[in-house]
Amino acid sequence: LAATALFAVFARAVIPMLLSVSLSALDDHPHAFGWVRAFGTVGFAASMFAFPAALETYQASHGLAATPGGPTEPALGLLFPTAAALSVIAAAAALTIPNRGAVALRAARGEWKVLLRNPRFVRLLTVCTLAFLFVNGPMEIFPILVRERGGNLESVRDMWLFMLVPETLLIVVLGSLVRRLGARGLLAIGIFASSARWLLCGTIESLPLL
């Protein structure tokens, strides 16, 4: 629990920082951000299929199999060192980002106090905090819900495809969507879609429908 809490302190801040750095680094190419972000989704999809296949191969070669009342994937703990190795690779890649322009900016001492006196910043911070609080909780326990509905590791993997395919397409055209709908419009649509998604997931009992 302590290790997970410590990890969450840093991991949850990584995504917003990556977004802000990417937007700044690609400021002179409006459509480039969508393509870069889409590759992240493609990488996530690739890992979803590559890791379970590697896990099955490892378990078969070591004679590990599911037992009644025991774990369905005995060697699933390998997910942690795998994620750690990928994180190290990502950190090394981050060091190659050019440190110039807006990317090189640093906050001044006490600047956060100035931000908290800005009503618009406080409103946005409140909305994002509440949305993050309620959206990410279900995300973490979604695999448990799938298992309770009779699914397994492969079910969880296949379900993500329904999110990843449209997400990749939408992110590629993100530049155009921002111009048409504005950042506030996109934020509202995203929060509404997340709300509808988790309300449906919580009420649907059938695994195929889920």
pLDDT per residue as tens digits for the range 186-206: 889 988 988 898 899 889 989
Is residue 121 predicted with pLDDT exceeding 90? Answer: yes
- What DSSP element (H or E) covers 153? helix 153-172
pLDDT per residue as tens digits for the range 49-90: 899 889 999 999 999 988 888 888 899 999 999 989 998 998
Q: Please state the rounded mean pLDDT for residues 124-152.
A: 87
Tokens of 200: 């449906």
CA distance 139 to 15: 15
CA distance 188 to 178: 12
CA distance 176 to 190: 16
